[in-house]
Amino acid sequence: MNESSLQLAKAPIIEAVLDIDCDLPLSVDQELLEKSARDALRDRYPKLRKQSIQEHVWTHNGIDAPEMQMMERPGALQFLTEDERQLVQFRPNGFSFNRLAPYGSLDDYLPEIESAWRLFEELAQPVMIRKVGLRMINRMLLPLSDGKLVFSDFLQVAPSLPATGLKLGLVGFLEQHLAIDEESLNRVNIVKTSEAAASGSLPVILDIDAFHPCDIPPPEWPVLLARIESLRNLKNRVFQHTLTAQCLNLFSPVV
């Protein structure tokens, strides 16, 4: 059942990420890939940021002073729009499309995602898809009352403390739940965590990562799109049923 009727005028979404994790051929020519992608994306994504992964390894034999070795290897090629609110990533293990706030609706970005994915497919020639994921990171400012917050007013499943009889107050939390939809076999990783309170409100991050592990050769776009829509439906339902009506009202539901 689709449940995408909820529309929020002030949606708390900070970042949306569409990930397609793939195995790339072992013989990818990184320089050629970078040049071809840059040429093709220059108009829409004029900025290129080359991510590199640094690893620091300390070794210690228990006697001599510890020794540190640093390694660096190429990470993602990040192609950014002029305002840096949108990017396409060609990663060593796949493709990502990121949209930072302000975020409209996934429908607004699907044509762009399709176009960028087709380019990635043409240039990087992925041989196998391992995962399709749709992640939405939301930041909600929950209003404090006299410096306190009743979490259950805002969250359907609220963090709580044991009833110790002491004056214990919650000052931070990280909750993670991993679930599977037995019908679609989609999975969802739901994370709720708090940040430091400021200006009369408590920032709470709700990070919903709906994903589908798979081992298939890259399918035609309509097949991928159907999977993305299915993940979107799961993500929307989790969002809507994680928050109370009072919380949803903070984001001005469109009636």
The residue among 199, 195, 143, 141 whose CA lies nearest residue 173 is 195
* CB 77, min distance to another protein, A: 12
Query: Using CB under 8 A, which of the segments 10-18, 112-120, 227-235, 243-251 binds another protein?
Result: 10-18
Structure tokens given for 67: 């020794």
Query: Using CB under 8 A, which of the segments 30-38, 111-119, 133-141, 220-228 binds another protein?
Result: 133-141
* CB 140, min distance to another protein, A: 10
Q: What SS3 state is found at 47?
A: strand
62 near another protein, rule: CB under 8 A: yes
Q: How far apart (Å, rounded) are the C-alpha atoms in residues 72 and 184?
A: 39
Residue identified by tokens 């990121």 is: 98
The residue among 212, 206, 242 whose CA lies nearest residue 18 is 212
116 near another protein, rule: CB under 8 A: no
38 near another protein, rule: CB under 8 A: no
- Residue by residue, DSSP assigns 107-138 as HHHHHHHHHHHHHHHHHH---EEEEEEEEEEE
Interacting residue with another protein among 4, 6, 8, 17 (CB under 8 A): 17
Residues of this chain, 176-215, that bind another protein according to CB under 8 A = 176, 178, 180, 187, 189, 191, 193, 195, 205, 207
Residue type at 112 in one-letter notation: E
* CB 148, min distance to another protein, A: 21
Q: What SS3 state is found at 223?
A: helix
Q: How far apart (Å, rounded) are the C-alpha atoms in residues 114 and 251?
A: 29
Contact set with another protein (CB under 8 A): 14-15, 17, 19, 21, 23, 55, 57, 59-62, 64, 67, 69-71, 73, 76, 78, 87, 89, 91, 93-94, 96, 98, 100, 130, 135, 137, 139, 172, 174, 176, 178, 180, 187, 189, 191, 193, 195, 205, 207
